Structures are given as structure tokens and as C-alpha cells.
Structure 1
Amino acid sequence: MTANPALDLAAAVRRGERSAVDVLEEHLARVDATEADVHAFNTVLGERARVAAGEVDAAVARGEDPGPLAGVPIALKDNLCTRGIPTTCSSRILEGWQPPYDATVVTRVAAAGAVAVGKTNLDEFAMGSSTENSAFGPTRNPLDLSRVPGGSSGGSAAAVAAGYAPLALGSDTGGSIRQPAALCGVVGVKPTYGVVSRYGLVAFASSLDQVGPFARTVGDAALLFDVIAGHDPADSTSLPGAAPVASARLGEGVEGLRVGLVTELVGAEGLSAEVVAGTRAAADALAAAGAKVDEVSVPATVYGLSAYYLIAPAEASSNLSRYDGVRYGHRAEGAADITEMYVATRSEGFGAEVKRRIMLGTYALSAGYYDAYYGQAQRVRTLIIRDFDAAYQSFDVLLSPTAPGTAFPLGEKTADPLVMYLNDVCTIPSNLAGHPAMSVPWGAGADGLPLGVQILAPALGETVMFQVAAALEAMAPAGPGSSAR
């Protein structure tokens, strides 16, 4: 395939050199060939996608421009509302629910000419790091079917890695785009909090959730980011004013840019030696390309994991209280009274990990413990923000590992939640700070599976973040699937 599959496909369709219908059929054929093994999707939108692709071709035939994503297949995480199409969050409690409206990002990609091919599998309500917590079964890593794709947006990462779609949307609350991107060897981006609308994203933790792109290349990720970013009056947390332009400086290199290698994240608990070596090699490559690279301490990041697993479950316990058998989705039958119905509905509808986090969060918010747990975690969050702000006084971007290692075997970490939670040790600090961060493929581990490097930037720093990512991509050692990219 060519350098930027989505960009090139869209250009060919807009020029009338390719048919959007033909492009779609090629991708649906790949889905038909291997989806039974991978299970990237909860729903494949074959006929709806064909209608949408036909509308793109009709627009081209009329001499109209269908948009910057003309005819490009895109996969949508199944926690993004899609009108008249099931949106399950991979939970039994929402099985079969069809929203009456589209999420803003879904509207924007459709208006740009993209063709949605399916709704992707995820850890239930986006709670997990392996996509093994789905009520509909795990997704497998297309590069090694015995391994996880990461999570919670594992279905979206797998869909891009498997060639089912050049682009996908996921959500990132503590690393749920970047970690699976690293494990599947694709690019994954968490934008600045408030730059991309959360309207129509089913909430997990409202102060942390962000929608962002997956792509095979940095250029394609920038294309999708520029389509979905921007103020949305329907989202009260949406930032006013113009959004950063991710594609503005992709080819400008890194000469003179200041890059900080985060000491605490390179030395974080549980990182494999090859992940650390790869991250340092990426820093050396940037230095060789003209960047000014040095180590930088962001001390409070060492408390990120602890703070996150109080704040996120607390917000989840509040957000998920609406799933009660009355307002949405599943309702248990045969209950003697409404209290019994509530208990039975939530017991049947939620999986073990969701129940665990609801209980954690409810405890952290309870009388007598609020200040000691939730309040203290929010104070730690403030320290993390301050420490990042101090680092960005001296550096344009920061660098760290994305995930502790390569994709691990299915079932290896499900018995120990704490071991599973460590998968997000390097990604969580950016969510707590509200800053953008992205994962870029960086070669492979000894097992032949992908490694990823994380680039972090200050709030609204997407332009320079993508600039550095494009430079890293150009210098990256060969990894699995690199020839396809």
C-alpha cells in the first residue's frame, strides 16, 4: 500500500479515479476473510456502508467534492452513538439499544465523506486494557491471534491493523487508544481534553474521556484529527476557538525542537528492557535529526496510576447509575419490587470488571472516605498538572514508552486486576492532565510484535506533537506490518 492509505484513497475517489463502492468492497472482503478469527467488530454495517459509498460516488459524478475523507472506510468504537444502529458498549445491559442520534464525531466523519464499516468491540464500557472484558467475547490481535490487541479500544486498533479500514475512532480515558495502538503497530492519538466533542460518547469518566483517531500512518491520523476536532456547542466541555491543525507542520522535521525524555515514565514499574531501550533509541534518533534532547523529571507522574484508579471509578459509579432497568437497555424480569429489579438488572447486565470499578468508585465517594480517597486523588491530579507545566517551560514535547511490553497472551493477566492496570502506567498521566499524547510504532520486540513510543505535548500542542511524530515515523526501525503501511 501507499504511504498514507486514507489520504491517497480519498484523493483517488475525489478525482474519480477510484469508486468508493469498489474501495468499500475491497475492505469488506478482508473483513469476510478473517473477522471470524479476529472479532474486531460487534456489528458490521455492510448494506448501510454500501448505500453511503454509493452516495459518495454520486456526489463525485455530479461534480461535487464529498469531503477530505471521501470514500474512506472507517471503524467506529461501539461506545459512540449511531442513530438506528446498535450501540452496546460491549455490555449486556445495552444489548440491542439503538440511539436516536449520532455522536458529533460520527456526524463529522460522515460529512467529510467517510464510510462507516462497523462498530468495534471494546472492554465493557471502556474499562480494561485487553478487550477481554467484552460481553461479546475478546478481540484478538491480528498480528498474532493468541495475543490481545490491547484495550479498551482493541477492536478499533485491530480493525486498522487487519486492514478492515484505514481509519478508526476510539476513546481514551487512561490509555485506551494509545496502548492498543502500540500493541497492534498502528498510530493512536489522544487529543487535548475538550478539542474533540464528547457529545454522543457513552460516558465512562467524564473528566478524562476523549475521542481520538487510529490510523496506519501519522499523516492519516492527522487527516482524521483535523476532521473531528473543533468546538461543539452540544458539549459543555468543548473548548471554544479554533482547534490546533495536526497536519500543519508534518514535514518540517525536528531541528531545534526541545524534547524531554520523562525519567519517571522510562523507569516506571513493569516496563520490559526492550521497551526502555526502544524509547531511548527513539530519543537518540530525534537528537540525530537535530532536536535538543535531554531527560526531564515529572515527579508526580509516579502517583498517576493510584490517582486514576480512584477518580475514574468514582466518575464511573456516577455515570453508570443510569443503567437501572428503567431508562436504558436490559431489564431483569420477575422481580418482586423495584429495588429487587434494580439489583437483578445490574447484576445480570454488568460484567465483573465494571462491577469492580463501580464498587471502588462508590466506596471512594462515600461519606467518611471522600476526602481521604477521591479528594486526595484530585489533589494529586493538580500536582501532576503543575509538574507537566513546569516541564513544558523547558521542552516542546516529552517522550516516553507507551505500553510496558508487546502484546501479551490472551488470559495471561485476567486473574490479577493490578497487573492488568499496570498496562496504563505510562499513558494515564496525560489523561489526568488533559494534555494530548500519541503512540507511534517503533520497531518490534524480540517476539516480533510491535513496540510503540509515546509523544506527549502541552494542552493544544497537537501541531508540534504531530510534527515530532512524523519525524519519528520516518526514522522508525522496521516493524511487523511496516511494508503494508
Structure 2
Amino acid sequence: MASLRELHQQLVSKARSATEIAQEALERIHQLEPKLHSFLAITADRALDQARQVDAQLVAGESIGLLAGIPVGIKDNLCTKGIPTTCGSYILKNFVPPYESTVTQKLAAAGAVMVGKTNLDEFAMGSSTENSAYQVTANPWDTSRVPGGSSGGSAAAVAADECVVALGSDTGGSIRQPASFCGVVGLKPTYGLVSRFGLVAYASSLDQIGPFGRTVEDAAILLGAIAGHDPKDSTSLNVKIPDYTQFLIPDLRGKRIGVIAETFGEGLDSVVAEAVQKAIQQLKDLGAEVVEISCPRFRYGLPTYYVIAPSEASANLARYDGVKYGFRSEEAENLLSMYTQTRAQGFGAEVKRRIMIGTYALSAGYYDAYYLKAQKVRTLIKQDFEKAFESVDVLVCPTAPTTAFKAGEKTSDPISMYLSDLMTIPVNLAGLPGLSLPCGFDDRGLPIGLQIIGNVLREDLVLQAAYAYEQSTPWHEQSPKVS
């Protein structure tokens, strides 16, 4: 499928209609879904209806925005009015939201065409999209491997051309890690830049919604459409949203880039290390000054995250009790057994594991030892980043320590699964913007991701560095041969 801007040109020049583009996307989804399982729901009627509205605007001679008529995938933890939102969990199997999330509302207003709701790890808890209660999504580059998680459905759908762009959410790497595994661009914005209203909460101080695209420009256009202040979200930042495409300059002269020393060491696949080092050399060739930077507390991100995120999940997921909405166990004899049976049958193993970790960390006598200590370490990690940004414009490191692993390979070993997010988690703890883009392939033809991290609200510098690198390399032009 063409890029977002190319499709826009085709629409404006009347070379193709929005209905034709939507039908083509739906046809491709129909062909590939038996293999990929990227989507939990395909919203063909809504998509064609939205496409016809764009065509009517064009016939009437009205001007349209860049996203009008563009097929978009939506992660299934974003509420869509009148369309099931399951979060990949049985407990929300029949939940149809009575309201629309702010981001999907903004996309609809921009004329985007929603082709479906994408698969995810249950309640966005996971790194492989194997924790979904409904299906396991495959990686389009090798269908025996995982697409990453938790936004694996969105990443796979964009990589396989089932949609042009997609939305995901990122709590500890859930946009960037699947972007790395699937060879696409994934961006986690600054915490608070994009409204979380209508995003089903996992860990409220970490969750952030962001875009997937085949190119940096596609991701920048989608970010511009969803960013902005929202009074419905108390953590939403009231800042002016620029046109992010103006920062797409293929030149890095005068820019200083810091390489995070702590990310090159034990646990990093040598093929990934080599590809990222070559990418760093390429950034130098583009005129950037590259220096090594130490973030000494970077490695404490993982244990810190696995106290804070489950603690917040324990509080957020208490609302699923079988009373107001969602699944309710039929086997209960009284109220208490209704609660316990509903949760026992409705939640999957990984969600239960995290609820138990979080409930324990918050319990009397352990709160100070775990949760409070983790919040203090989080502050130290944030301070390391602040110090780093005093001397550099952006930081770079690998997105994930490995390329995509085989489905089933890590399901019995939670710790090795958690290590997939080693490089991405500290960025969430500090609330910073981070982007993953392709920087090569391993010997099995699997994509490798380079992560670019910016200071608070410095998406402009992140996008500039990513765009300059992308335009000088061939990686974004390659597509998986999934048929």
C-alpha cells in the first residue's frame, strides 16, 4: 500500500476513490487474517460508510485533510462507541462502550477510515500478543514468530499492509517493541501529550497512546491528529501542537546524539548490537556529533516497572467484578463467590499474576518496602535522563535486545519475556517520547529496531533524527512477503 501522503494525492487528484482504497484494505485483511490474526473485529460497514463520506466531500469540491479516506487500525483497548472493546480479555467479551475515546473521535473527525480493532495482550499486559484470550497474532516476516506486544495486532497490520497506519498504547514498550519486531515505525509520545480518555487503563502513570506507520512521516502525521489537550483527561498537557511534519529534515548537522552505554552489554543479541552500531555510524555520517552517555540507573527500570505497573493495575482492574458490565460468572451462590468466580474465569494467567504482584506490593507492611521504594528509584531514573539531556539532543539505543522470538518460546518463563522490554521501560518511567524505526535485519530476515529517545515534549528532535536516518537507508522500503 502507498504511503499516507501518496494516498492523499491519489484521492485529491481523483485517481482513486476513498471507497476503492477501503475495499482494497478490507480485501487484504480478508486474505491475510487466516494467517496473521491481527484483528479481533473487522468493521467493514463503518469503514465503507466513512469512505463514502470522504468521497462525497471530494465530489462536492471540499478540501480534505491528510488522514481523510486513510485505512486505520485501532488497538482494542480504545473505546469505540457501538463496537465491542474487549482488551483481548474474556471479562470484556460482550462489552460495547456507550462512548468514544478522544483519539478515535479525533480520527473520525479527520475523516480516517477505521477498518477494525486490533489484537493485543490481555489488558495490554505482555510482550508477544500471546496473552490475548482470543487468538495469537503472527509476525508477517515469519508467521511462526511473535509480532511483539502488547500492540502486536497494530504493528503486524501495518507491516502487512492491512491498514496504512494504526494506533497502539505503550505502558512499558508496547508500541516500540512490536514496531521493532515487525519492521515498522512506532512512537510513544511524551506522557500527557495524547489524551487517554477512553483508553482502558492498565497503569495510569505510564500508559500513553501513540501511532504506528510504515514511515516516520506517516507516524508524524498520525501523531499530529491525535495530540492535544483534553479536559476529560486530568493528566493531559495544555500545550500548542505543532505540525510535526515540519521537523522532517534529512540533516543532522549541529545535533548531538548520546548513545546509552548501559544498553550495550549482557543480554543484547550480537546481531542487534552490530546493526545498531552501524545505524549510529550512519547518524555520524549525516553530520551529528555522537557521544557515549551513561544512565547508571537505566538497568533498574525493569524491577521498578514490575512493582509500579502491577500496583496500578491492581487498583485499575478492581472494577471488573461482574456487577456493572462485562462477563459475570453464572456459578456464584453469593456476592463474594460471584466476585471470585468472575475474576477466576474472566482473567488470563498473566493478568492474574500482575494483579497478585500489585496487590501484594500495596498491602499493609509492604507498601514502603516495594511501592514507595520503586517510586524513589523511578525519580532517580528520571534524573539520569535529565542529566543526559543537558549535553545531548536525543539518546539512542537498541529498541529490543533480540529480534522476534518463536511463538511459545517464552510463555513458560515470565522473566525472559519481561526482559524483551528492558530498553523501553525506563522511557515510560520518565514520561519521555521514544520512537522505534527499522535499522536492519538479522540473518533470518527478521527486522531490527533502533530506539531514539527525546526529552519531554521534544518529539520534534526525535522525528528529525528518525527521518534523517530513515531517508538515508533502505530499510523502510522493504516489506514482508506474506500472501
Q: In which range does the TM-score fall when normalised by the shorter chain? A: over 0.9
- The alignment partner of 1:399 has SS state of strand
Q: Given the alignment of the two structures, is residue 450 of structure 1 paired with residue 409 of structure 2, yes or no?
A: no
What's the counterpart of residue 159 of structure 1?
A: 157
Quote the offset at 1:425 in angstroms: 0.2
CA contact (8 A) 1:244 1:462 kept: no
1:158 CA displacement: 0.6
How much does 1:188 deviate? 0.2
Once the two structures are superposed, residues 39-81 of structure 1 have per-residue CA deviations (whole angstroms, 9 ceiling, x without a partner) of 0000000111111110110111112223220110000000000
Alignment pair present for 1:463 and 2:460: yes
Aligned match of 2:302: 305
Q: Deviations over 1:240-288 (max 9, x none)?
A: 1213542122024111100000001223x42100111111111111111
1:445 & 1:173 partners in 2: Cα distance? 27
Structure 2 unaligned residues grouped into runs of 5+:
none
Retained in 2: the 8 A contact 1:182–1:403?
yes
The residue that corresponds to 1:179 in the other structure is 177
- 1:308-319, aligned counterparts within 5 Å? 308-319=305-316
Partner AA of 1:233 in structure 2: P
Shift of 1:112: 1.0
Alignment gaps of 5+ in structure 1: none
1:100 aligns with 2:136: no
Q: Cα deviation per residue 1:224-253 (whole Å; 9 max; x = unaligned)?
A: 011111111111100012135421220241
The aligned residue for residue 432 of structure 2 is 435
Q: Tell me, what secondary structure is at the counterpart of 1:319?
A: helix
Choose the corresponding residue for 2:122, options 124, 146, 153.
124
The structural deviation recorded for 1:15 is 3.7
Cα-Cα RMSD: 1.3
SS at match of 1:247: helix
Which residue does 2:334 correspond to in 1? 337
Distance 1:244 1:188 in 2: 19
**Aligned residues between the structures:** 481
Please say if residues 308 and 358 of structure 2, whose CA atoms lie closer than 8 Å, have aligned partners that are also in contact: yes
Amino acid corresponding to residue 140 of structure 2 in structure 1: P
User: Identity across aligned pairs (percent)?
Assistant: 57
Q: CA offset at residue 483 of structure 1? A: 9.1
Distance verdict in 2 for CA 1:181–1:410, change over 3 Å: same
Q: Which residue of 1 aligns with 2:37?
A: 39
Does residue 70 (structure 1) correspond to residue 32 (structure 2)? The answer is no
Partner of 2:166: 168
User: Could you say which residue in structure 2 is the equivalent of 1:210?
Assistant: 208
The letter for the 1-side match of 2:36 is: V
The letter of the residue matching 2:320 is: Y
Cα distance in 2 for partners of 1:341, 1:219 equals 50
Note if 1:410 corresponds to 2:411.
Answer: no
| Structure 2 counterpart of 1:288, from 282, 285, 288 | 285
Q: Kindly report which structure 2 residues correspond to 1:237-252, keeping only aligned pairs within 5 A, or say none.
A: 237-252=235-250
The alignment status of 1:359 with 2:356, answered yes or no, reads yes
Q: Secondary structure at the match of 1:238?
A: coil
Cα shift at 1:384? 0.7
**CA distance in structure 1 between the aligned counterparts of 2:207 and 2:473, rounded to whole angstroms:** 29
What secondary structure is seen at the aligned counterpart in 2 of 1:248? helix
Aligned residue identity for 1:337: N
CA distance in 1, matches of 2:108, 2:216: 21
User: Is 1:328 aligned with 2:330?
Assistant: no
Letter in 2 for 1:94: L
Residue 425 in structure 1 maps to residue 417 in structure 2:
no
Query: Any residues of structure 2 matched to 1:130-279 within 5 Å, and which?
Result: 130-267=128-265, 269-279=266-276
Contact 1:147–1:408 (Cα < 8 Å) also in 2 = yes
Amino acid at match of 1:11: Q
How far has the Cα of 1:478 moved from its partner? 3.9
Moved more, 37-46 or 15-24: 15-24
TM norm structure 2: 0.98
Cα distance in 2 for partners of 1:191, 1:369 equals 33
For each residue in 1:293-333, what CA deviation from the matched residue of structure 2 results, as whole angstroms up to 9, or x when unmatched? 01100111110000000000000000000000002200001
Distance 2:343 2:62 in 1: 49
Q: Secondary structure at the match of 1:241?
A: coil
Is the contact between residue 438 and residue 475 of structure 2 (CA under 8 Å) also seen in structure 1?
no
1:11 aligns with 2:3: no
